[in-house]
Chain A
Amino acid sequence: MEIRLSSVLLAAALLSGCGWFHRGEKPSNQVVVDEPAGEPSIIEPQVNRRVVKTPKIKAKDVELGAYFGALSIQDFGTNPLYGVRAAYHVSEDLFLEGFLARSKAGTTSLQDVFPNITVLSDAGRHFTYYDINLGYNVLPGEIFLGRGHAFNSQLYVTVGMGDVKFAEKDQFAINFGVGDRLLITDWLALHLDVRDHVFETDLTGRVKNVHNIEATLGITTFF
């Protein structure tokens, strides 16, 4: 009795398994024609239904690009800066963006007076940062170049946070900035940005907040 019951259960399990294996199959495409019995039709229609696929509309909400400018590292002079940027536009007002950039600090004024003092090692002079920001297009508008040309532009403000690696130490930094996105065409933009990176450091002897202001020019494309 027990063997019979278990074989019944096994058969049931196998059957349900078969059903599972067939679940992904599509129904057959062939057209079934109801024929009256005894009257074979001369032409058997074999027309498959034509599937018209509507193309997708491409969304160009992602902006990628590079920028170049000057970074004023507090106490260490103003130096060239290079970086890459990416943004995702959530709505016509809001966007999220990320930055990755690098610069190299010069010497302090103190070293100009006393050249033998070493404040930073060569590796420590690298100023590298990443930022994650939230941006808001505050003043969208148009910029006119002469009589014949108008370019769309957006003045935006951003606030964010990230990591600044300076003097071989990673520091938490907040940043806030203002910039203008000038659209040369609808997919190519020029950026002018001013941003301040603020972090706490004890590099010059006492703990203080340092402001590192950058002014950059960038170019981006929309994807």
Chain B
Amino acid sequence: MRRLLALLLVMQAFNVSAALAKSRLVEVIITDPFIEMHSGPGRGYPVTYVVGRDDTVTVLYSRTEWYKVRAPSGQEGWVRRSDLARARLASGEPAPIPPYPDFATHRWEVGAGYGVFNHQNLVTGYVDFSLTDSLDAEFVLQQAFGTIDNRYLATIGLRHTFIPEWKWFSPTAGIGTGYQYIDDKVPPKPLETHNQMAYVSLGVRGFITRRFMWRADWRKYDVFTHQNENEEPEEWKFGLAVFF
């Protein structure tokens, strides 16, 4: 009996949470003569239903540039972002479809790419945070694959974008510091496995589409060693990134 009661309580809790989740969904009123609902989130999927002007649809969630909605009849389908953006809330305000982040003033960037570090293949991944429209802080993790050793590089730096409002091609320059770890593949062991380093960089960035962009960078490192001379490797890389 007690178990049954507990089960009922749990089910009730689920019901309440489901009801709460439902109440948090956005309902919009269609202002176009009609909009088409597709069977999938893509331009080629067939139109399965049509909602007319003044119909209220519930917006469930989005995927890329498509929104899954429920019509008053209970029929569900995917509508194009641009169609839904013209709809209104019951209060008369425009539907809360957030605009795509502006490329010139975006805050976050996450990307990955391929490069060449000292004639070795390089895999790179990075996170970038904009301090101002033209100044970014970048955090980069890289792995360079050599024939005698592998290097892991972690760097943090500042990057200046010269003309952030140039959308397709904008030059950048940066400085930073970091750390490298050398993992030897074949003997003999390297003289030093951990080194601090500093770099200067020159690069370009550009917009591709929506939240997508590219970057190309050249870096010159100064690896601080205990030997008579510091090591000065060079690096080229190209990457793709998503910005928010």
Contact = CB atoms under 8 A, between A and B. Distances in A.
A170 interface: yes
A140 interface: yes
Contacts of A96: 112, 240, 242
| Residue among B46, B67, B68, B89 with max Cβ neighbours from chain A (10 Å) | B68
Interface in A150-200: 150, 152, 154, 161-163, 169-172, 183, 186
B130 interface: no
B26 A55 contact: yes
Contacts, number: 94
B155 interface: no
Contacts of B185: 169-170
Given A57-B67, A132-B125, A170-B143, A92 B61 contact: no
B234 to A, nearest CB: 18
A183 B66 CA distance: 16
A60 interface: yes
Interface in A2-30: none
Contact of A170 (B44, B96, B114, B145): B145
Interface in B143-185: 143, 145, 150, 183, 185
B61 A152 contact: no
Interface in A57-71: 57-61
Contacts of A110: none
Interface in A28-81: 52, 54-61
In order of increasing CB-CB distance, the 4 nearest A-B pairs are A172-B145, A172-B121, A152-B40, A58-B61
